[in-house]
Amino acid sequence: MNIVIFKIKNFILFSIIIVLFIGCGPEEHQPVAKCLNFGVSNVRRNLHLILSVSVARPPLEGVDSQTVKLLRLPSETQVPGTIYYSNDRIILIPDNPLNESTQYRFEINEGISDVSGKQMDPIYQEFTTGDIFQVYYVDVLRNYSYSPAEVYSIGIYFSEGANTSHLIFGEGNITVYDENNMAQFFNVAYYDDVALAVLNFDYPLEMDKLYILRIGPYIYSNLDGEMLDGDRDNQVSDMEAFEMRFKYSDDMGAGIDILDSITFAQPYNESISRCFLWEFD
């Protein structure tokens, strides 16, 4: 008897959990905007603007120059470009590189729906382009397949596309040393969708150990050939590298721990939902 009551209680509890987490039945949601591949400040000028969307019943309909717009502010002049929808992304490729130090607004307006007619909510994101090639920020990329989640990779986000031939281990290019001045060699993978260079190490970086990362200045924009402004003081004539000293810990939720930084300037403003590496696998 007790066992039966126990089973019934368990069944009720289990059912409540299922309803709480899944809902009462299958329910398709409207198309939902997930993330953008650009921030809000110092945005690169040769950008393909990408919005990742979650679509229950693809494909999307109504993706065109009426619903997807890039406007130059404050005049709200529409920027000409190619607009298309591919897999789970709405993409706008401007015909020409954007102007530097200029404010824009990327708009998704009413009129986009999935095949069942569910409408996507309008969204917009304003941003300002950069006028100089800089490191956007740096973060560790953990291997979550194992615990503790060790770091085999470091991600370096640039403010615009980099010429990949300069993304190599070398003084003036990119170096990583530990506190004993031992070089940590790596291979580089580059993801132009998000102007991201990933340094992949053969062995994990050790937790709670000090590392020194130097980037540039002999890395050049693939847009205009401009040299990297490593110390982010808006001058390239000083030929300063980006340099930071960091550790990382066992805390899965924590990113890179900047201990000391000679040239690490204030972080850029980010859009609320920016796409990261895993959105572009």
User: CA–CA separation, 7 vs 13, rounded Å?
Assistant: 10
Q: Which CB sits closer to Ca ion, 141 or 174?
A: 174
Q: Which CB sits closer to Ca ion, 220 or 276?
A: 220
Residue 101 token pair: 């130090």
Q: Tell me the per-residue interface mask from 68 to 107 with Ca ion, x by CB under 5 A, - otherwise.
A: ----------------------------------------
Q: Which CB sits closer to Ca ion, 137 or 248?
A: 137
Cβ 189 to Ca ion, closest distance in Å?
27
User: CA–CA separation, 264 vs 281, rounded Å?
Assistant: 29
Cα-based angle 135, 141, 146 (whole degrees, multiple of 5): 170
Residues 199-258 that bind Ca ion (CB under 5 A): 229, 231, 233, 235, 238, 240
User: Would you say the C-alpha torsion 177, 178, 181, 185 has a positive or negative sign?
Assistant: negative
The number of residues that bind Ca ion (CB under 5 A) is: 6
Residues 24-53 that bind Ca ion (CB under 5 A): none
Residues 126-185 that bind Ca ion (CB under 5 A): none
Residue 254 token pair: 């924590």
Q: Which CB sits closer to Ca ion, 31 or 216?
A: 216
Cβ 70 to Ca ion, closest distance in Å?
30
Length of the chain, in residues: 281
Residue 61 token pair: 């309909």
Cβ 217 to Ca ion, closest distance in Å?
8
Question: Could you tell me where the beta strands, DSSP code E, fall in 131-278?
Answer: 135-142, 151-158, 174-178, 186-191, 196-205, 211-215, 242-247, 257-260
Cβ 243 to Ca ion, closest distance in Å?
12
User: CA–CA separation, 30 vs 62, rounded Å?
Assistant: 14
What DSSP string runs through 55-104? -SSPPPB--STTTEEEEETTTTEEPPEEEEEETTEEEEEESSPPPTT-EE
Q: Which CB sits closer to Ca ion, 143 or 235?
A: 235
Cβ 241 to Ca ion, closest distance in Å?
9
Q: Which CB sits closer to Ca ion, 240 or 243?
A: 240
Q: Which CB sits closer to Ca ion, 66 or 235?
A: 235
CA distances 51 to 13, 48, 89, 124, 143, Å, are 39, 10, 5, 11, 26
Cβ 227 to Ca ion, closest distance in Å?
9
Cβ 198 to Ca ion, closest distance in Å?
24
Cβ 229 to Ca ion, closest distance in Å?
4
Identify the helix (H) or strand (E) that includes residue 239. none
Q: Which CB sits closer to Ca ion, 122 or 267?
A: 267
Residue 68 neighbours by CB under 8 Å, 6+ apart: 83, 90, 92, 107, 108, 109, 112
Q: Which residues bind Ca ion (CB under 5 A)?
A: 229, 231, 233, 235, 238, 240
